[in-house]
Amino acid sequence: MGSFCFAVHLLYRSSLYQDHLPRLSSRDKFSLEKAQWTEIETIDANSQPAEYSKMTVILHTFANKAIGAFAAQLSDYLADEWESTGLTPNGSSHPPKTNTIPFSSFMNLPEFFAPSSIDTFTLCHVPKMATPSFFEDGQWAGYSCFIHHELDHEYNPTGPLRYNWDGIGGENRMVQLNNLDQPPQSSLNPRKKHIERYAKFKLSHWIDVRFFVVQSNYFQSQKDTFRMTLKVDSVTGIVSVVRHVNFDESPLKMTGLNAVVTPFGLFFGGYSPDYWLWLWKLDWTPSSEDHFRFPAQRIV
């Protein structure tokens, strides 16, 4: 519950941008560049249920905190872009605000003073969100972040720390120049497939009564193209990345052996301490005018 409140607080503060608010530093509480993803892929959900359950709670707690820090630092980046250009970077979407995510519609909140209410709260969103219908409903926007040090003259990563943001749905010149966004088997795109701006998921199959697999379309960011195959645990909301390729079916950097279905969307980590991906429902995205209604205030 504490990690959820932490994330809500940072999303709320990062969406206000009012000069009278005191400076807030998420790095003092949770640093993405130092965070360590919790690996649970070697723990079997059936033969080690107690251990798997324990690690699931840890991973959900971590993911909520990471989303809070991610959102605060992303909003700072977007504020810089908005101040300098007056536009959303590369056509990408703004992160959700606390009043644009319909928490009450998919969180089965426990009674406040009920026994084990805190433990129950951790996974109270899973029954409605870790479902094929939730994945299939609508489009998904998001951002990835690659954190790295600038290279020195000998190509050693010793320079200042940089956050390299890449928005899902952003303008992609390679896609446009090659007409990959045109309808398949059309005069401009004779291929049998095409790239869409945002992610969509479709149920592939159920493995058993607990696990199902969803397949994404080909979708774009400013810098890349993606297609993802995900295995979802409908009991815990843990997601395994089965396959991650670009438009030419070449393997891409894995965004993590695990992802988590959180109340804020899908959060991927674990490939390395410096790469993260957050996907949220496109209809949770506020407009640019609504998001930056007030002068920008540094959040991190």
- pLDDT tens digits along 34-58: 777 777 665 677 767 777 788 888 8
Side chain identity, residue 149 = H
- Helix, strand, or coil here: 280? strand
Say how far apart CA 195 and CA 249 lie, in whole Å: 13
Cβ burial, residue 289 (10 Å; 0-12/13-18/19+): exposed
CA distances from 132 to 116, 126, 168, 215, 293 (A): 28, 12, 21, 11, 36
**Total domains present in the chain:** 1
Say how far apart CA 65 and CA 68 lie, in whole Å: 5
pLDDT of residue 19: 40
Compute the radius of gyration of the chain from its Cα atoms. 19
pLDDT of residue 152: 60
* 297 part of a folded domain: no
Task: Pick the closest to residue 165 from 253, 28, 70 (CA basis).
Answer: 70
Q: Is the pLDDT of residue 167 over 90?
A: yes
* 188 part of a folded domain: yes
* 128 part of a folded domain: yes
Side chain identity, residue 221 = S
* 155 part of a folded domain: yes
* 64 part of a folded domain: yes
Cβ burial, residue 103 (10 Å; 0-12/13-18/19+): middle
Q: Provide the percentage of residues in the chain whose pLDDT is more than 70.
A: 76
pLDDT of residue 115: 66
Q: Which of 11-25, 47-61, 251-265 has the lowest mean pLDDT?
A: 11-25
Q: Is the pLDDT of residue 151 over 70?
A: no
Angle (CA) 163-142-103 rounded to 5° is 120
Q: Is the pLDDT of residue 113 over 90?
A: no
Residues whose CB falls within 8 Å of the CB of residue 29, separated by 6 or more in sequence, listed in order? 6, 69
pLDDT of residue 106: 93
pLDDT of residue 155: 58
Alpha helices, DSSP H, located in the chain: 2-14, 49-85, 103-106, 117-122, 126-129, 132-136, 173-177, 288-291
pLDDT tens profile 226-256: 999 999 999 999 999 999 999 999 998 776 7
Please report the DSSP string for 49-86 in residue order: HHHHHHHHHHHHHHHHHHHHHHHHHHHHHHHHHHHHHS
Do residues 241 and 269 make contact, with C-beta atoms less than 8 angstroms apart?
no
Q: Provide the percentage of residues in the chain whose pLDDT is more than 90.
A: 46
Biggest CA-to-CA distance, the chain: 63
Q: What is the domain range of residue 60? A: 2-37+45-291
pLDDT of residue 43: 67
* 241 part of a folded domain: yes
pLDDT of residue 174: 95
pLDDT of residue 81: 75
* 277 part of a folded domain: yes
* 127 part of a folded domain: yes
Residues whose CB falls within 8 Å of the CB of residue 96, separated by 6 or more in sequence, listed in order? 11, 264, 265, 280, 281, 284, 285, 286
pLDDT of residue 156: 61
